[in-house]
Structure 1
Amino acid sequence: MILFTFLWLSSFSLPIFAQFLSDNPFVSSSFSNGPDSTFNTSGTMIQTGRTGVTAMHAVLLNENNILIIDKAEWNEAQLDSGVSAYSCEYHIDTNTYRTLALQTNTFCSAGGFLGNGTMISTGGAEGVGKWGLKAKKGHQAVRHFEPCLNNTCEWQEYSANRMTNDRWYPTVEQLPTGDLLILGGSTVGTKVNRDEINVPSYEFWPPRPSRGKVHFPFLEATTMPYNLYPFVFLLPNGHLFIFASTKSIIFDYENNVVVKELPDLPGVPRSYPLTGGAVLLPLDPANDYQAEILICGGSERMNANSKADATCGRINLDAPTPRWEMDTFVYPRLMPDGVLLADGSVAWVNGCQRGWAGYKQRNHDPTFTPVIYHPNHSLKHRWQTGLAETTIARMYHSVALTLPDGRVWIAGSNNNDPPDVNAEYPTEFRVEYFSPPYLYQPSPARPLLSHVPPRWVYGATVEFLVHLDAAHDEDIKVGLLRTGFSTHSLHMSQRYVFLEHTVAPHRQSIHVTAPPRPTLFPPGKGFLYIIHGGVPSKGVEVDIQLSE
Structure 2
Amino acid sequence: MYITKISGFLVTLCISTVSCQSPFFNQEKVSPFEKSGKMEQIGRTGVAAMHAVLLKYESPLFCHKRTLNSSFFFFFIDSEKSILIIDKAEENEAKLDSGISAYSTLYDIETNTYRTLLLETNTFCSAGGFLGNGTFISTGGAESRGAWKAGRGHQSIRHFPPTCSDDNCLWQEFPTGKMYSNRWYPTVEQLPDGDLIIIGGSNAGTKYNTVIKNTPSYEFWPPRTDEPIQLDLLLHTLPYNLYPFVFLLPDGHLFIFASKKSIIYDYNEHKVVRELPPMPGVPRSYPLTGGAVMLPLRPENDYNVEILICGGSASPAATSAADDTCGKINLGDKNPQWEMDTFVHKRVMPDGVFGTDGSIVWVNGCQRGYAGYKDANHDPTFDPLIYHPEKPKGSRWQQGLATTDIARMYHSVALTLPDGRIWIAGSNSVDPPDIHAKYPTEFRVEYFSPPYLFKGARPKISHVPRIVGYNETFQILLHLEGKVGKVEVAMMRPGFSTHSMHMSQRYVYLNHEVSEDFQSVRIHSPPHANLFPPGQAFLVVMQDGVPSVTTEFFIEHDKDDLLI
Q: Same fold (TM over 0.5)?
A: yes
CA distance in structure 2 between the aligned counterparts of 1:87 and 1:452, rounded to whole angstroms: 33
Contact kept, 8 Å, 1:232 with 1:243, in 2: the verdict is yes
From 129, 134, 139, the equivalent of 2:154 is 139
Aligned to 1:194: 210
Secondary structure at the aligned position of 2:34 is classed as helix
Picking from 143, 156, 172, the partner of 2:172 is 156
User: Which residue of the partner structure matches residue 474 of structure 2?
Assistant: 462
Alignment of 1:320-339 (within 5 A): 320-339=334-353
Aligned pairs (5 A) from 1:191-230? 191-208=207-224, 210-220=225-235, 222-230=236-244
Write the letter of the residue equivalent to 2:555.
I
Tell me if the contact between 1:483 and 1:494 (Cα under 8 Å) persists in the aligned partners.
Answer: yes
Q: Which amino acid aligns with 1:113?
A: F
Question: Would you say the 8 A contact 1:123–1:142 is kept in 2?
Answer: yes
The Cα of 1:212 is off from its aligned counterpart by: 2.7
Match for 2:374: what amino acid?
K
Among 87, 93, 110, the alignment partner of 2:104 is 87
Deviation of 1:469 after TM superposition, in Å, equals: 2.2
- CA distance change for structure 1 residues 488 and 160 in 2, over 3 Å: closer, same or farther? closer
**2:53–2:85 contact (8 Å) kept in structure 1:** yes
CA contact (8 A) 2:488 2:543 kept: yes
Shift of 1:36: 3.9
Residue pair 1:35, 1:441 contacting (<8 A) in 2 also = no
SS of the counterpart of 1:286?
Answer: helix
- After TM superposition, the structure 1 = structure 2 runs for residues 404-419 of structure 1, keeping only pairs within 5 Å, are 404-419=418-433
CA contact (8 A) 1:307 1:353 kept: yes
Question: How far off its partner does 1:158 sit?
Answer: 3.0
Task: Report how far residue 75 of structure 1 moved.
Answer: 0.6
Q: Indicate which of 325, 328, 352 corresponds to 1:311.
A: 325
Q: Secondary structure at the match of 1:125?
A: coil
Shift of 1:192: 1.2
Per-residue CA deviation, residues 114-170 of structure 1 (Å, 9 max, x unaligned), is 00000000000000012xx10000000000001344321110013576100000000
How many residue pairs are counted as aligned between the two chains? 509
Amino acid aligned to 2:350? P
* Helix, strand or coil at the partner of 2:361: strand
Q: Which runs of 5+ in 2 are unaligned?
A: 1-26, 57-79, 560-564
State the match for 1:180 in structure 2: 196
Contact 2:140 2:157 in 1 (8 A): yes
SS at match of 2:35: helix
Q: Quote how far apart the aligned CAs of 1:82 are.
A: 1.1
Question: How much does 1:35 deviate?
Answer: 4.2
Alignment of 1:298-377 (within 5 A): 298-377=312-391
Secondary structure, aligned partner of 1:307:
coil
1:108 corresponds in structure 2 to 125
Deviations 1:17-54 (A, max 9, x none): xxxxxxxxxxxxxxxx9644330000000001000011
- 1:452-491 aligned at under 5 Å gives the runs 452-471=464-483, 473-491=484-502
What is the alpha-carbon distance in structure 1 between the residues aligned to residue 522 and residue 82 of structure 2?
Answer: 29
* Residue in 2 that maps onto 1:498: 509
**TM-score of the aligned structures, taking structure 2 as reference length:** 0.89
Residues 156 and 176 of structure 2 are in contact (CA less than 8 Å); yes or no, is this contact kept in structure 1?
no
Root-mean-square deviation (CA), in Å? 1.2
**3-state secondary structure, aligned to 2:434:** coil
- Corresponding residue of 2:250: 236
Contact (CA 8 Å) 2:294, 2:506: kept in 1 or not?
yes
Mapped partners of 1:239, 1:224: distance in 2: 23
Counterpart mapping for 1:42-53 below 5 A:
42-53=36-47
- The code of the aligned residue for 1:431 comes to V
Structure 2 letter corresponding to 1:98: R
- The 1:39–1:259 alpha-carbon spacing in structure 2 relative to 1, beyond 3 Å, is same
Contact between 1:34 and 1:440, CA under 8 Å: does it hold in 2? no
Out of 35-44 and 193-202, give the one that drifted further: 35-44
- Cα distance in 1 between the residues matched to 2:381 and 2:161: 36
Does the alignment pair 1:76 with 2:93? yes
| 1:211 positional shift | 4.7
Residue equivalent to 2:182? 166
Q: Which amino acid aligns with 1:486?
A: S
CA contact 1:239–1:251 (8 Å) conserved in 2? yes
Q: Is the 8 A contact 1:54 1:428 kept in 2?
A: yes
Does residue 424 (structure 1) correspond to residue 441 (structure 2)? The answer is: no
Partner Cα separation in structure 1 for residue 206 and residue 38 of structure 2:
38
The answer to whether structure 1 residue 387 and structure 2 residue 401 are counterparts is yes
3-state SS of the aligned residue for 1:250?
A: strand
SS of 1:173's partner is strand
Distance in 2, Cα, partners of 1:211 & 1:181:
14
Q: Deviations over 1:405-447 (max 9, x none)?
A: 00000000001101101000000000000000011113xx101
Q: CA separation in 2, counterparts of 1:390 and 1:337?
A: 15
Q: What is the aligned-residue identity percentage? A: 64
Is residue 153–residue 176 contact of structure 2 (8 Å, CA) maintained in 1? Answer: no
Give distance in 2, aligned partners of 1:362 and 1:141: 28
> Do the aligned partners of 1:204 and 1:212 also contact (CA within 8 Å) in 2?
no
Q: Structure 2 counterpart of 1:234, which letter?
A: L
TM-score between the two structures when normalised by the length of structure 1: 0.92
Uncovered stretches (5+) of structure 1, i.e. residues with no partner:
1-32
Could you say which structure has the larger radius of gyration?
A: 2
Which amino acid in structure 2 is aligned with residue 462 of structure 1?
A: F
Letter in 2 for 1:217: D
Within 5 Å, which residues of 2 pair with 1:23-34?
A: none
Residue identity matched to 1:146: P
Query: Residue by residue, what CA displacement relative to the aligned partner does 1:48-76 show, whole Å, maximum 9, x if unpaired?
Result: 10000110000011311100000000110
Q: What per-residue deviation string (whole Å, max 9, x for no partner) do you get for residues 202-252 of structure 1?
A: 0000001x45310111101x2100000000000000000000011100001
Secondary structure of residue in 2 paired with 1:241: strand
Query: What residue in structure 1 maps to residue 9 of structure 2?
Result: none
Cα 1:381–1:344 change in 2 (3 A) is same
C-alpha distance after superposition, 1:512-535 (max 9, x if no partner): 111110000001001110011110
Distance 2:318 2:108 in 1: 36
When residues 74 and 159 of structure 1 are mapped into structure 2, their CA distance, relative to the original with a 3 A threshold, is closer
- d(CA) in 2 for partners of 1:179, 1:161: 19
Deviations for 1:273-309, whole angstroms, at most 9, x for unmatched residues?
Answer: 1000000000000111001100000011111011000
- Does the residue aligned with 1:98 lie in a helix, a strand or coil? strand
SS at match of 1:264: coil
Task: Please give the per-residue CA displacement for 1:366-418, whole angstroms capped at 9, x wherever unaligned.
Answer: 00000000000000110000000000000000000000000000000001101
- The residue that corresponds to 2:67 in the other structure is none
Q: Secondary structure at the match of 1:223?
A: coil
CA distance 1:186–1:505, change in 2 (3 Å): same
Task: Show CA shifts across 1:427-468 (max 9, x none).
Answer: 0000000000011113xx101011111111001111111101
